[in-house]
Amino acid sequence: MDPMSNGTNRQWSAVSEYERPLTLYATRILGDVGRAQDVVQETFLRLFSQNPFPAQPFVAQWLYTVCRNKALDIRRKEKRMNPLSDSHIETLRSADPPPPEILESREKTSQVMKALDGLPENQQEVIRLKFQHGRSYKEISEITNLSVSNVGVLIHKGLKSIRAQVANA
């Protein structure tokens, strides 16, 4: 088998696996689906130009880091952030159903999302990376340039705040 075709297969496999989650992640940062899709496209173009291709265990981390940096660059240039409408979120949701043990009803989900949107931006980002994108504390640390312990503290504080808000609702 041609080693070049193996690399190409790995690249297309990465596109297939990470395009939707990266688009959702970039949309949360930018507040705009179209700009997020552009960022994800640039991220994959950069991936395809990598030689050598990132090692398998590091592809997700590499993609999220590049995507985050590109999205933050755009946001810094524009110096504004537009809220994302619920209809846009619905079009980007993963085909996988949310874990039923997290919440039992849509009302609880709405309360949790409202509470999450009210958190400081750094807490929102690490919580979304952990629970919506399944990243480990170490991966989140490397993506956000925060220490692993700081990631843990931000997630803990954010979840504690969400629980308190939902319990009082």
Residue range 24-44, pLDDT digits in tens: 999 999 888 999 999 999 998
- Calculate the average pLDDT of the chain: 82
**Claim: this prediction has a pTM higher than 0.85:** no
Across residues 72-98, what is the average pLDDT? 67
Predicted local confidence at residue 14, as pLDDT? 81
Across residues 143-153, what is the average pLDDT? 94
Predicted local confidence at residue 103, as pLDDT? 38
| Residue with tokens 């395009």, as numbered in its chain | 19
Predicted local confidence at residue 169, as pLDDT? 72
Query: Residue ranges per domain, the chain?
Result: 1-91, 97-169
**CATH class of segment(s) 97-169:** mainly alpha
Identify which of 109, 113, 87, 107 has the alpha carbon closest to the alpha carbon of residue 98. 109
Omega of the bond leading into 21 within 30 degrees of 0 (cis): no
Identify which of 85, 87, 72 has the alpha carbon closest to the alpha carbon of residue 30. 72
Contact 18, 60 (CB under 8 A): yes
Contact 141, 68 (CB under 8 A): no
Identify which of 79, 80, 65, 78 has the alpha carbon closest to the alpha carbon of residue 26. 65
Contact 70, 43 (CB under 8 A): yes
